[in-house]
Amino acid sequence: MKPDLFQAPDYYQLDDLLTEEHKLIRDAAREWTKREVSPIIEEAAQNAVFPKSIINGLAEIGAFGPYIPVKYGGAGLDQISYGLIMQEIERGDSGVRSTASVQSSLVMYPIWKYGNEAQRNKYLPKLASGEFMGCFGLTEPDHGSNPSGMVTNIKDMGDHYLLNGAKMWISNAPFADVAVVWAKNEAGRIKGVIVDRGMEGFTTPETHNKWSLRASATGELIFDNVKIPKENILPNKDGLGAPLGCLDSARYGIAWGAIGAAMDCYDTALRYAKERIQFGKPIASFQLQQKKLAEMITEITKAQLLTWRLGVLRNEGKATSAQISMAKRNNVDMALHIAREARQVLGAMGITGEYSIMRHMMNLESVITYEGTHDIHLLITGLDITGIPAFK
């Protein structure tokens, strides 16, 4: 792969909207990505392996639980810092950001928000340091966009619960030490269950043959009469709103992350277009290529503004789920479109692993599907503005 020469676009001087602390955190994550992710990521993706060597570094830059309080091992940062870290690591690869999103927003967040003090103290510091890796099981083979139909269930056996069922398409599953799993109790109420690796009847087979997110490990979670101690149930929230609350945090991170992938594609295409000569001139001098590049920077700038404002609202505790959906949907679609356009700017070279663009493009096909598909997020906006749910 070519050396990482990334230069971040900032067309509207958005750095002026960031504090000195934001910039320090962002720059540390940017440097780390350049040094630790870029040199190894293409090979990891080609070989379809998650590069475990980066786990310690992710913990060190605060990517595991950026906004979780320091007393639980988190970085205690604000929402914009969290977003900037996601942006920088997804600039390297969406699969790396996925690993961090799952750990922070889908595993640490529910334990922090819905768990008790003993659960927080037991799991959060180890998840923050990367000693424990986590995964989040909501999707099932027959229930993806409609998680409320889930069939995974827990049965009260007096001194413990029995967990049965299966989850599918679970990021980090093959190597996770702990899984936050959503299951229905006998009353049909969705509960959060902490499942530890090693519990009898719990297996995590890996899903192979993916063309997307190849550097992120995906798998199933299979529960065959798993005995769950009562202290492993998250006590402080139940119902579908509990997992959806976690998704709000993860979708917010993805909105920032997608900008990172888009920035990388744009920056690569711009540099290539200035260097590549055809018909005696750099291809950047042709109007058709300028149109692509000009539209890319316009869309990136719009997404940066949308996302920064969302970060301010999140810091003030005012961002709605529907606002987060709009940003996730817009930014991932924007990034995927830019990846496709940038790929064309590079001609045949664009399909090779010499450049990051094709990898980003393939990754973004997952990002536009997980954490709520592009269609589902449109319907969430539709519901918000009309008051009428069009899901069913």
Active site residues: 371
69 or 241: CB nearest ligand TGC: 241
Which of ligand FAD, ligand TGC, none binds 247 (CB below 5-8 Å, type-dependent)?
A: ligand TGC
Q: How far is the CB of 248 from ligand TGC (least distance, A)?
A: 5
Told to check if 148 binds ligand TGC by CB under 6 A, we report yes
Told to check if 369 binds ligand FAD by CB under 6 A, we report yes
Told to check if 174 binds ligand TGC by CB under 6 A, we report no
- Touching ligand FAD, residues 87-116 (CB under 6 A): 102
Which of ligand TGC, ligand FAD, none binds 249 (CB below 5-8 Å, type-dependent)?
A: none
162 or 383: CB nearest ligand FAD: 383
**Residue nearest ligand FAD by beta-carbon distance:** 144
User: Residue 151: helix, strand or coil by DSSP?
Assistant: coil
Told to check if 282 binds ligand TGC by CB under 6 A, we report no
Q: How far is the CB of 378 from ligand FAD (least distance, A)?
A: 8
Which of ligand FAD, ligand TGC, none binds 185 (CB below 5-8 Å, type-dependent)?
A: none
Residue 325's φ and ψ, nearest 5 degrees, are: -60, -45
Q: How far is the CB of 284 from ligand FAD (least distance, A)?
A: 35
Q: How far is the CB of 221 from ligand FAD (least distance, A)?
A: 9
Told to check if 312 binds ligand TGC by CB under 6 A, we report no
Distances (CA, A) of 155 to 138, 227, 253, 274: 18, 10, 34, 63
Told to check if 307 binds ligand TGC by CB under 6 A, we report no
Is residue 380 within 8 A of residue 320, CB to CB? The reply is no
4 or 365: CB nearest ligand FAD: 365
The span from the CA of 26 to the CA of 370, in Å, is 25
- Touching ligand TGC, residues 344-383 (CB under 6 A): 370-372, 376, 380
Answer for which of 15, 43, 231, 375 binds ligand FAD (CB under 6 A) is 375
The span from the CA of 131 to the CA of 65, in Å, is 13
Answer for which of 138, 163, 262, 327 binds ligand FAD (CB under 6 A) is 138
State the residue for tokens 């990021």: 171
Which of ligand TGC, ligand FAD, none binds 241 (CB below 5-8 Å, type-dependent)?
A: ligand TGC
Answer for which of 40, 199, 240, 378 binds ligand TGC (CB under 6 A) is 240
Is residue 238 within 8 A of residue 182, CB to CB? The reply is no
Which of ligand TGC, ligand FAD, none binds 137 (CB below 5-8 Å, type-dependent)?
A: ligand FAD
Told to check if 141 binds ligand TGC by CB under 6 A, we report no
Do β-strands 218-229 and 153-156 pair in parallel, antiparallel, or remain unpaired?
unpaired
Answer for which of 79, 139, 212, 331 binds ligand TGC (CB under 6 A) is 139
Amino acid in the structure at residue 236: N
Is residue 172 within 8 A of residue 215, CB to CB? The reply is no
Stretch that binds ligand FAD, among 193-201, 223-231, 274-282, 375-383 (CB under 6 A): 375-383
Which of ligand TGC, ligand FAD, none binds 218 (CB below 5-8 Å, type-dependent)?
A: ligand FAD
Both tokens assigned to 348: 């045949």
Residue 47's φ and ψ, nearest 5 degrees, are: -85, 0
Q: How many CB atoms lie within 10 A of CB 287?
A: 8
Distances (CA, A) of 210 to 21, 47, 48, 200, 354: 38, 11, 8, 29, 20
Is residue 74 within 8 A of residue 128, CB to CB? The reply is yes
Spell out where the chain has E strands: 134-137, 153-156, 160-171, 178-184, 190-196, 202-203, 218-229, 277-278, 281-282
Both tokens assigned to 279: 């018909």
- DSSP label at 359? H
Both tokens assigned to 325: 């959906």
Answer for which of 240, 313, 376, 383 binds ligand FAD (CB under 6 A) is 376
State the residue for tokens 């659960």: 119
Question: Which residues bind to ligand FAD, rule: CB under 6 A?
Answer: 102, 135-139, 144-145, 169-171, 213, 218, 366, 369-371, 373, 375-376, 379, 391
